[in-house]
Amino acid sequence: MLQLAGVTTKYGAISALRDVTLTVNAGEVVGLIGPNGAGKTTLLNTVAGLLQPSDGSVKLGAEDVTGTEPENLLRRGLALVPEHRRIFVDLTVEENLRIGGATVSGDERGRLLNDMQEQFPVLRSKWLTRAGYLSGGEAQQLAIARALMAKPKLLMMDEPSLGLAPILVDMVFDLISSLRNDGVTLLVVEQNARRMLEIADRAYVMRSGQIVSEGSGEELLERSDLFESFVGGGAT
Ligand code: ATP
């Protein structure tokens, strides 16, 4: 479904991604783990069209989408839940979700708003509340629901459990599993490496802008030498 080949992305003269090759197959949950500054966010932002690679290609399905605008990618089924959520704090929960559904038809948007109320009861109870008043866990659910309003085939999440209380971390991982069951393909950056590997079909380990290892979640869990140095407090 997604294929990166030899992707290099630079900030000025500094290469934050170097010759990255990565595949996500339809129906998979793929994890992306690595220490701070490894280039994980840069990779997701490059795929989402927020950054332009200086070399290499990004393919979505059979199509080369390298350098395609984010909104165009959203219409093709690729959505990103960005780091730090980036919801519109002055708008209500409903208004945030309507913006998320801007690329689907009016009828479809109405159906999806109902779906989101069912899937995220906490959002239903705060429907007319401004997003700036939500707790961290509620805001993360809103960020994920907003991305789901675009009906993505491939959903990318950047650190979805960051800063959440343990019970909400569980909620995020349960949600990832339930999205997989709903047929959504996922590429997830997580600092909670062990939890991510437990639910991922496959994962890539990044360091200094490069992929240094890849394998099934199970295989990589047995190679804790690869990630022990950067697992955070949530590694249980
Ligand atoms: P983190 O977990 O800390 O978010 P990451 O693996 O997501 O780390 P990136 O945020 O992609 O890493 O950063 C990769 C490298 O690029 C780092 O060395 C970072 O300092 C650098 N970098 C990131 N954003 C910029 C920017 N806007 N301008 C210059 N350098 C940047």
Count how many Cα atoms sit within 13 Å of the Cα of residue 189 in the half-sphere of its side chain. Answer: 24
Comparing CA positions, the residue from 227, 181, 236, 184 lying closest to residue 32 is 227
49 CA to centre of ligand 1 in angstroms: 16
* pTM for the predicted model, two decimal places: 0.91
Architecture of domain 1-77+153-236: 3-Layer(aba) Sandwich (3.40)
| Burial class for 197, CB neighbours closer than 10 Å (0-12, 13-18, 19+) | buried
pLDDT in tens, 10-43: 999 999 999 999 999 999 999 999 999 999 999 9
14 CA to centre of ligand 1 in angstroms: 10
Residue 60 clears pLDDT 60, i.e. is over it: yes
Q: Is 38 in the pocket of ligand 1 (CB under 6 A)?
A: yes
Ligand 1 atom nearest the C-alpha of 42 is 11
d(CA 160, CA 158): 6
Comparing CA positions, the residue from 104, 145, 155 lying closest to residue 1 is 155
Residue 234 clears pLDDT 50, i.e. is over it: no
Residue 236 clears pLDDT 50, i.e. is over it: no
pLDDT in tens, 104-119: 998 999 999 999 999 9
Out of 36, 80, 192, mutate this one to test ligand 1's pocket (max ligand atoms within 8 Å of CB): namely 36
Locus of tokens 């960005």: 82
pLDDT band at 203 (very low <50, low <70, confident <90, very high): very high
196 CA to centre of ligand 1 in angstroms: 21
Out of 8, 11, 189, mutate this one to test ligand 1's pocket (max ligand atoms within 8 Å of CB): namely 11
pLDDT in tens, 119-151: 999 999 999 999 999 998 899 999 999 999 999
pLDDT in tens, 93-105: 999 999 999 989 9
Both tokens of residue 202? Answer: 């496959």
Q: Domain spans of the chain?
A: 1-77+153-236, 86-151
pLDDT band at 189 (very low <50, low <70, confident <90, very high): very high
pLDDT of residue 233: 39
pLDDT band at 235 (very low <50, low <70, confident <90, very high): very low
pLDDT of residue 231: 63
Q: Is 42 in the pocket of ligand 1 (CB under 6 A)?
A: yes
pLDDT in tens, 212-230: 999 999 999 888 777 777 6
